[in-house]
Structure 1
Amino acid sequence: MSSDRRPVVFVHGLWLHADSWTPWLELFREAGYDPQAPGWPGDSPSVEENRQHPERVAGIGIDAVVDHYAQVIGALDTQPIVVGHSFGGLIAQRLLGQNLAAAAVAIDPAPIKGVIFLPPSSLRVASVALRNPANRRGTVTLTRKQFRYGFGNALPQAESDELYDRWTIGSPGRPLFEAAVANLKPSSPAKVDTGKATRGPLLLTLGGKDHTVAPAIVRTTARLYRKSPAVTELRQYPDRGHSLTIDAGWRVVADDVLAWLKARGL
């Protein structure tokens, strides 16, 4: 790629493989960017290999993921834009707050420290891991029914099942435990410097039907940034669930992200 193409680093969340960003990579490349979607530390190159070796990601926490992507960014010639979904959205905010990104897009991001109230639907999804303390050091895999509730609830059953078969992988349980006790720990890995004035612009999105990251979580996250003079914007998709980056409507969200970046000269 030519050096004038701004790098974009895509960060997936729990239970989705990095390859789920493939349509986004193609779109951003066509739009003039240099995109990549590295997996989390321990992730395997393919969905199938991840499913065969879920133990490779066992026990990995938020700090390890942030450090992993910081190393990816450190190898780049230009500060990238970081786009993250779910826990990837939390990671994107951490990287932006550490001045490692020129801008960040946090799509239906997992709750950062300071988000106190978790709606029942979000607690139900998190309980997949939290109900068993051993999951803190292990991996957690969703059943088809759990994926339907957490990701595909706004989709036809057939589409939800197809996405489950195509993209889901086992993920570490530790980030969910870390997020659950974030407000009890001053040095929580879910802590983001929301008051920072010198960071780049941030776009937050919420899906109005999201069960995993319920709308109230993202609205609270946006309020936590009010003390910062840096740009923070919130975009809402009232009829979308947590699958909004991978379902048939992904292009609507991706086009909005591109338009937002272009409007800021990025």
Structure 2
Amino acid sequence: MGMSTPVIFIHGLWLHASSWQPWIDLFADRGYHAVAPGWPGDAETVAQTRANPDALAGHGIDDVVEHYARIIEALPTKPILIGHSFGGMIAQKLLGLDLATAAIAIDAAQIKGVLPLPLSTLRSGFPVLSNPANTNRAVSLTKEQFRYAFANTVTEQESTDLYDRWSIPAPGKPLFEAAAANFNPHSPAKVDTANESRGPLLLIAGGKDHTVPEVVVRSTLKQYRHSHAVTDIIDFPDKAHSLTIDSGWHEVAETTLTWLKGQNL
């Protein structure tokens, strides 16, 4: 690949697209053309997004996939996708649709077929899943909820700083769709894991992640057993769900760059 390989970063729930800025700068330094478009309804800044949560409400997984598919269609070549949490699920869906050269899914939300449902995952999703009306709402986390779901391995001060800097309301619909995925044959959380022609995929797990524990990521890996396309996994035993934004982000980013180089990307 040339020096202008496009990279699209896809955020997950409760984080603004601008949280990828350190990654964008690093990837740009390494010769990639990196961007981080927001989800449907995201405003340009964290403050603007917080001020208009209704713009986020009601968008489901298919809406987000179609949103990024349109962005990809406007590119001169298929991009590398790097997604975190629900962004990791979206990246896998787009890769399965052959819309990407490769994908890296970091602490990716459960796709259809993944059965483990750890108690910590339920607790992390409780602020949304506790009220069915949240399906069509955008929901914010409190600082305490953010610390449990994202930043349980960093100091309380760093957790508060991350919350203040990057957190935004999130649409509840994707969480309800993922929760019902294994009961819905046409679930939007279904990924074409048997695709033999897709590009390489790297799954990354945080060993202390409360929201997407390692057992979920390893179960995701098993869903790809019927495809001979490259599917790798890397575990960071001491990292939590905040691994893309906290003070240890650079180690994770460098690992993704090393893997891409190994794939001649």
Q: Into which bin does the TM-score normalised by the smaller protein fall?
A: over 0.9
Structure 2, unaligned runs of 5 or more:
none
Q: Which residue of 1 aligns with 2:237?
A: 238
Confirm or deny that 1:27 pairs with 2:26. yes
Distance 2:260 2:160 in 1: 32
Query: Secondary structure of 2:15's partner?
Result: coil
Distance 1:215 1:155 in 2: 18
Distance 1:72 1:115 in 2: 28
Q: Which of structure 1's runs of 4+ aligned residues deviate more than 2 A? A: none
TM-score (norm 1): 0.98
Confirm or deny that 1:73 pairs with 2:83. no
1:4 Cα deviation from its structure 2 partner? 4.6
- Report matched runs for 1:11-160 at 5 Å: 11-160=10-159
1:44 Cα deviation from its structure 2 partner? 0.3
Query: Secondary structure of 2:104's partner?
Result: strand
For residue 245 of structure 1, what is the amino acid of its counterpart?
T
For residue 40 of structure 1, what is the amino acid of its counterpart?
W
TM-score (norm 2): 0.99
Structure 1 vs Structure 2: percent identity of aligned residues? 58
Q: Which residue of 2 aligns with 1:172?
A: 171
For 1:153-199, what per-residue CA distance to the aligned partner results, in whole angstroms no more than 9, with x for missing partners? 01111101100000000010000000000001111000001111000
For 1:198-240, what per-residue CA distance to the aligned partner results, in whole angstroms no more than 9, with x for missing partners? 0000000000000010111001000111111000000000000
Query: Secondary structure of 2:218's partner?
Result: helix
Distance 1:118 1:103 in 2: 27
Structure 1, unaligned runs of 5 or more:
none
Query: Secondary structure of 1:112's partner?
Result: coil
Q: Which residue of 2 aligns with 1:181?
A: 180
Distance 2:3 2:57 in 1: 38
Distance 2:15 2:26 in 1: 19
| CA-atom RMSD in angstroms | 0.7
Query: Secondary structure of 1:204's partner?
Result: strand
